[in-house]
């Protein structure tokens, strides 16, 4: 009796179409979806971060042991004087390996800001081809990270990883026209393919 009832309803065209769509959706589910962890840094490990000031900015940067999202360290940038241009940044460079062409990259980082004025701080992901830039994705112009707030997660996404990338970098930037302090922790970059 129940089978006849189901058969009766499936013979109706709208219901049959919905049922077939559902079956197709389940059959085409993303069973082969893979995630590759490229960078996973809580700043307790061996990754080598570099701090740079681009003149005329004269910010201070250092490993911070009083402000952190997890474990006991974060990267910090502080500025007490705003200047007309320039910026400072932390960067981590590496040679990419085993990232499938066309995969989606997601960079996440936890950021805390204290009294950050002006344009604030940015998170960026860059990939170079030879001596030129293959891609550059940033929170700049998309998300304002300023004022004062506890650690919050920010994301930068690259929709399709291009062929031929020879070097990659993560940047945490403080604009030269900004003052205050920014702290960065729990950095993760993953590839979805």
Distances (CA, A) of 175 to 63, 89, 94, 113, 178: 19, 9, 24, 13, 5
Number of independent structural domains in the chain: 2
pTM of the model: 0.81
Residue position matching structure tokens 């929170």: 139
d(CA 54, CA 171) in angstroms, rounded, equals: 13
- Same domain assignment for residues 90 and 27: no
Say whether the peptide bond before residue 56 is cis (omega within 30 degrees of 0).
yes
d(CA 175, CA 111) in angstroms, rounded, equals: 15
Give pLDDT tens digits along the chain (193 positions): 444 444 445 455 554 544 444 434 444 444 457 899 999 998 887 679 999 999 999 899 999 989 999 889 999 999 999 998 999 999 999 999 989 999 999 999 999 999 999 999 999 999 999 888 899 999 999 999 999 999 999 999 999 999 999 999 999 999 999 999 999 999 999 999 8
127, 131, 133, 134 alpha-carbon torsion, rounded to 10°: -60
- Same domain assignment for residues 21 and 40: no
Give the rounded distance of the alpha carbon of 148 from its chain centre: 21
- Same domain assignment for residues 10 and 79: no
**Structural domain of 4:** 1-31
- Same domain assignment for residues 50 and 131: yes
- Same domain assignment for residues 21 and 46: no
Residue position matching structure tokens 């402000």: 67
């Amino acid at each position: 009796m129940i089978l006849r009832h189901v058969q009766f309803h499936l013979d109706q065209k709208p219901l049959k179409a919905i049922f077939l769509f559902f079956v197709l959706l389940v059959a085409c589910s993303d069973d082969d979806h893979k995630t590759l962890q490229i960078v996973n840094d809580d700043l307790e490990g061996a990754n080598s971060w570099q701090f740079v000031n681009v003149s005329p900015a004269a910010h201070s940067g250092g490993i911070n042991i009083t402000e952190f999202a997890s474990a006991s360290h974060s990267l910090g940038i502080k500025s007490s004087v705003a200047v007309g241009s320039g910026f400072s940044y932390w960067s981590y460079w590496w040679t990419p390996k085993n990232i499938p062409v066309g995969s989606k990259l997601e960079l996440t980082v936890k950021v805390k800001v204290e009294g950050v004025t002006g344009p604030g701080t940015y998170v960026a992901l860059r990939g170079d081809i030879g001596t030129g830039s293959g891609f550059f994705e940033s929170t700049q112009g998309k998300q304002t990270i300023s004022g004062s707030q506890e650690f919050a997660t920010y994301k930068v996404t690259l929709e399709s990883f291009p062929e031929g990338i020879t070097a990659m970098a993560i940047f945490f930037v403080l604009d030269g026209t900004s003052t205050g302090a920014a702290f960065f922790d729990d950095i993760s970059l993953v590839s979805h393919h």
